[in-house]
Amino acid sequence: MTMLEKIRKHDLFPLLLLGLSFTVYGLLIPFLGFYWDDFPYLWFRHVSGVSGVMQAIALDRPLLAVFYGLPMSIFGETPWVWQIAAVFTRWLFTLSCFKLLLALWPEKKDEMKLVTLLVLVFPGFSQQWISVIYTHVFIVLALYFYSLALFVNQVRASRFQGFAFIPPILLSIVCMTAVEYVAGLELLRPFMIFYILNENQGGNLKGKLGRTLRLWLPYLAAFILFLIYRVFIASSVLYKFQQMDSITGSPWRALASLIARQFLNLHASTLPVWGQVFKPFFDFNFSTIFCKLYIAAFILFFAGMFFISSKLSQSRASEKKWITPLVIGSLLSLLAAGLPFWAANLSPSINFPSDRVLLPFMLGSSALLFSLLFLLGSNKVLFRVLFSLIFTLAATFQLYQANQFRADWDYFSQYMQQLSWRIPSLQDNTLLVAEKLPLRFYSDNSLTAAFNWIFNVDAPGDNADLPYLINYTESRLGYSLSSLEPGTEINHNYRILNFKGSSDRMILFYVHTPGCVHIVDPRLDGENPLLPAVLRDYASSSRVDLIEEDFKQNDAFFLSSDSENSWCYYYQKASLAASKGKWQEIVSLAETAFTLDDHPNDASERFPFIEAYARTGDWNRAVQLSRDTAQISELYQPMLCKLWNILNEEISGDAKNEAVAQISKEIGCILN
C-alpha cells in the first residue's frame, strides 16, 4: 500500500479542522498580545512563579488551578506562543464536539462534519484571543465533551459491565468542578440514553424509561454530589449560587423566573449570535489594508467551503426524518446550557465580556442552525450556497474580531508606554484613578498588573503588599473604592496580594482619544473641560509629587521605544518637567515637538509649553500658544485664565504685564 493510499484510507477531517482553526483564528497572531485576565495571572507567574498563579486560581476554582500548572510552566510570557496554544485547544474542543456528534449519529458522518464546522466559527464567543484564560478553558471543555462522547459510545455498545462507567463520570466531575459552565449539560445524559435505546432496541416505553433511569443513576449521583459541593462547600467562589433565597422563599416565583430565563437564553444564543456576522460591513474603512484582507479572506473561505461541502454527501428530502432528533437535541442542549447561569444570576449576551457565558451554547446553537439550513435547502446546490455563506460570514466575523483585539493591544501598549515616559518612578502605596480608559479588552484589573510589571522593581515575593493599584471610578466608585474624598482608606484584595492606600496618595489621569495620556495637574485641571466630571472636583487631590525623576522601571515586553518620535513622547516629557519646574528643559523639548509631523489632539497638551515659554521670558510664544488653544474651543477659556492668573501673580515685569493685558483682551480673562 502506497503512502497516498494510506492517507486516503484515513479520515483527514481532523487535519482539515486544524488547518481551518489556524486560518480563522491565527492570521493576526504576530500582531496580538495579552488581554483581560491574562495579565494578572501572567504577572503572578512573573513575580511568584507557577505556584503563585495556581494559588490565585484556586481562590475561585481549586481544581482549575491544576490545569494551569503545566501550560504556565512551559509557555512563558510570549504572546504568540499562548495564541498558538489557544487556537490548538480550540481545535481540540471542536474535535471533541465532532466525536460526540458522531457517537450520537454514526450514520450521518458528513452531516456531523458540517455541524462541527459551524461550531468552529461560532460567532457568539468573541474572546478567543484572551489566550491564557481560554487555553485552559478549552482544555476543560474538550475533556468534558470527550467524556460525553465516551459515555454515548458505552451506551451504544452496552459496555457497562464492571466499572466501565467510572472514567466518563470522573472526567465529568473534574470538568464541572474546574469550570462550572458545563454543569447544565449533565442533564442531557438521560435524553441521550433514551434516544439510543429507542433507536436500537424494541420493547415498551416503560421498559426503556426504566433502563434509561438505571443507566443514568451513577451520573445523577455524581451530579448531585457536585451540586452539594458547589452550593454548600465552594459557595465563596467567583460565581455564587444566588437563587437559594428565591427557591426557599418563593419556589413558584423561582420556577417562573427559570422558565422565563430559558426563553431568553434560547433567543440570546441563536438570533443575535448569528445575526451579528454582518456587523463588519457597517464598520469598514474600505481604504485600509485590513479591509482588503477581509475581502480576500471572504472570497477564499466561501470558495473553499463550497468545495468542501460538495465532497460531503447530505441526506435529502426522503431522508429528512433523522433531522428531528437533531433539532430536539439542539433545543434541549440550549435549555440545559443556561441553568448554571440562571443559578448565578448571569445572562448570556453577545456583548463583551458577557459572551463568555455562551460557551456551553456553542454546540446546540450550531446544530440548530445546521438543521434550519438543511430544511431550507431544497436541493444540494442551494444548501451548499447557504452553508458556505453562513460559514464564511462567521469565519470572517472572527477575523474582524481578531483585528479589534490587535488594535486594542496597540492602544494598550501606547498608553502603558506613555505612562512609563511620564512616570520614571513612583512612590509605593499609590492609587491611580481614571473614569475609564478607551480600551475594550482591558479592565482596571488588567492595567494594575501591567503597571506593577513596569514600576514594581522589588518583586513582592513573600510580601503580600501590592505597591500600585489602578481603579476605574465607572466600576469601583461607591464599592471597593468607597469615595475620593480626602482621608478615605483604600484596602483592595488583588488575589494573592493586597493594596493598602488612601485617597491622600492618589494620582488622577485620563485619556481622551486620540489625545495622549494626561496626568491631572492639581493646579489647572479643575477647569479642564475634558477631565471627566466625576474627577474634576478632586483634581486638586492629584498627587503628582509622588512621581520621582529617578528612573526605576523593569523591562516589560509590552513596552517599545518605537514611538519616541511622536508628539505624545514630547508632551509626557514636558508634563514631567513642568511638575518639577524645569522650564528651560520644556523649551528645548518644544523646539522638536512643534516641528514634528504630529500635533496635539487634546488642547490641554499645550499648557506645559505655554507656561514654560512664559517663565523663560518668551511671552510672545506663550501668548500665541494660548491664542491657538482658545481658538480650538471656548471651553478652554477658564483653564487658560487660571494659568495666566498664576503667571500674573508669580512673575513680574513689563513684558509680563503687556502679555497679560493682551490675554485679558483677546481671551476675556479677568486677571488679578
DSSP symbols for 131-146 = HHHHHHHHHHHHHHHH
Q: Which pLDDT belongs to residue 292?
A: 85
Q: What is the pLDDT of residue 201?
A: 63
What's the CA gap between 596 and 456, in Å, rounded?
A: 33
pLDDT for the residue numbered 593? 94
Residue 27 class from Cβ within 10 Å (0-12 exposed, 13-18 middle, 19+ buried)?
middle
269 and 159 housed in the same domain:
yes
Question: Is residue 194, in this structure, part of any structural domain at all?
Answer: yes
- Whether residue 524 contacts residue 453, with contact meaning beta carbons closer than 8 Å, is answered with no
Backbone Cα Rg of the chain: 30
Question: Has residue 587 been placed in a domain?
Answer: yes
Instruction: Output the pLDDT for position 9.
Output: 55
Q: In the listed set 563, 590, 614, which residue is the last one of a domain according to the structure?
A: 563
Residue 631, domain member (yes or no): yes
Average pLDDT of span 484-499: 94
- Residue 616: give its domain's CATH number: 1.25.40
Q: Is 202 exposed, middle or buried (0-12, 13-18, 19+ CB in 10 A)?
A: exposed
Distance CA 138, CA 54 (A): 18
Share of residues in the chain with pLDDT > 90 (%)? 74
Asked if residue 76 and residue 51 are part of one domain, the reply reads: yes
- At 63-121, the pLDDT tens digits run 999 999 999 999 999 999 999 999 999 999 999 999 999 999 999 999 999 999 999 99
Residues 294 and 428 in one domain: no
State how far the Cα of 228 lies from the Cα of 281, in Å rounded to an integer: 48
Both 586 and 549 in a single domain? no
Is 230 inside any structural domain?
yes
Q: Which residues of 211-220 are buried (b: 16+ CB within 10 A; e: fewer)?
A: bbeebbeebe
Angle (nearest 5°) at CA 31 between 303 and 24: 25
- Same domain? 549 vs 574: no
**Do both 364 and 248 map to the same domain?**
yes
4 pLDDT above the threshold of 50: no
pLDDT at 289: 83
pLDDT tens readout for residues 271-281: 999 999 999 88
**Interval 281-291 mean pLDDT:** 80
The answer to whether residue 410 sits within a structural domain is no
Q: 0.85 cut: is pTM over it?
A: yes
**121 and 268 both lie in a single domain:** yes
Residue 319 lies in a domain: yes
What percent of the chain clears pLDDT 70, i.e. is strictly above it?
92
End position of a domain, from candidates 563, 581, 608: 563
pLDDT: which is higher, 252 or 623: 623
pLDDT tens track for 157-186: 876 665 677 888 999 999 999 998 999 999
**610 is in which domain, residue-wise?**
570-672
pLDDT for the residue 247: 60
Of residues 48, 37, 38, 47, the one with CA closest to residue 78: 38
Please tell me the predicted confidence (pLDDT) of residue 352: 93
Higher pLDDT, 397 or 284: 397
Instruction: Let me know whether 247 and 371 are in one domain.
Output: yes
Number of domains present in the structure of the chain:
3
> Mean pLDDT over all residues of the chain?
90
pLDDT in tens, 228-246: 888 777 755 455 555 555 5
* Residue 1 belongs to a domain: no
With bands split at pLDDT 50, 70 and 90, how would you rate the model's confidence at 618? very high
Residue 318 has a pLDDT of 47
Looking only at the bridges linking them, the beta strands covering 425-426 and 547-548 are antiparallel
The candidate with the shortest Cα–Cα distance to 126, out of 507, 454, 400, is 400
Asked if residue 152 and residue 62 are part of one domain, the reply reads yes
Say which residues have a Cβ less than 8 Å from residue 122's Cβ, sequence separation at least 6.
273, 358, 362, 365, 366, 394
581 touches 547 (CB < 8 A): no
Residue 258 has pLDDT above 70, yes or no: yes
pLDDT tens string 11-41: 789 999 999 999 999 999 999 999 999 999 9
How far is it, in rounded angstroms, from Cα 375 to Cα 38? 42
Whether residue 93 sits in one domain with residue 118 = yes
215 or 127: whose pLDDT is higher?
Answer: 127
How far apart CA 179 and CA 265 sit, in angstroms, is 19
Asked whether residue 527 is assigned to any structural domain, the reply reads yes
Distance CA 585, CA 398 (A): 48
Q: Based on the fold, state whether residues 480 and 584 are members of the same structural domain.
A: no
Same domain, 220 and 134: yes
* pLDDT of res. 561: 72
Whether 669 has a pLDDT exceeding 50, the answer reads yes
Using pLDDT thresholds of 50, 70 and 90, give the confidence band for residue 145.
very high
- As given in the structure block, the three cell numbers for residue 191 are 435524553
